[in-house]
Amino acid sequence: MLARQAAAEPGCANGQPDASPVGKGEQVIVDYFKAVDNRDYVAAWGYLDQPVRAKYGDIEVNRDAMSLSNFSEEMREHLKCVRVTKITVADSTDPDISASRGIQWYQVTFDAEYITPFEGGAGTLPSFYKTRVDPQPLIIDEGMSP
């Protein structure tokens, strides 16, 4: 069994309350960021579906360990702490959105302290996360817009 990393600093949300998720789609986002904040990158990785994992080089099953290492290194390098403070359903024209299939985009507000900016884009974590709740709740996409 892997040893857990030391938890990030508890004051990251600047006194704001944590988000109260409603439903499995929101819960998987909150759980993902709690794992990242606790530096439990193995648990965080488990909340990501293949399309998101591919962003870290996981394009084949046998590369999963290398991709997890890339993900862990990137989070350690860029994030001091992160906490979700609000989640709302995002307006989207994405044709894959389906309440019956449990697929939805969410806009996430969080407080994060960055060690260094993420490369490319805004240099911060994406503000939008797409989840699928069945058969297992997972984050299936992320972006600066839905």
Pairing of strands 138-143, 79-89: unpaired
What is the pLDDT, as a whole number, of residue 30? 95
Contacts of 49 (CB under 8 A, 6+ apart): 132, 138, 139, 140
Q: Which of 79, 139, 77, 143 is nearest to 112 (CA)?
A: 79
**Which two structure tokens, joined as six digits, stand for 137?**
């709740």
On the question of pLDDT at 6 being above 80, the answer is: no
Look at domain 23-143 and name its CATH class: alpha beta
pLDDT tens per residue, range 97-136: 988 788 999 999 988 999 998 887 678 899 999 999 989 9
pLDDT tens per residue, range 28-51: 999 999 999 999 999 999 999 988
pLDDT tens per residue, range 80-99: 999 999 999 999 899 999 88
Whole-number Å distance between alpha carbons of 44 and 35: 5
What percent of the chain shows pLDDT beyond 70? 85
What is the pLDDT, as a whole number, of residue 7? 44
- For the entire predicted model, the pTM comes to 0.86
Residue given tokens 């870290």 in the structure block = 56
Name the 3-class secondary structure at 82: strand
What percent of the chain shows pLDDT beyond 90? 53
The answer to whether the beta carbons of residues 92 and 146 sit under 8 Å apart is yes
* Degrees to nearest 5, angle at CA 84 with 80 and 85: 120
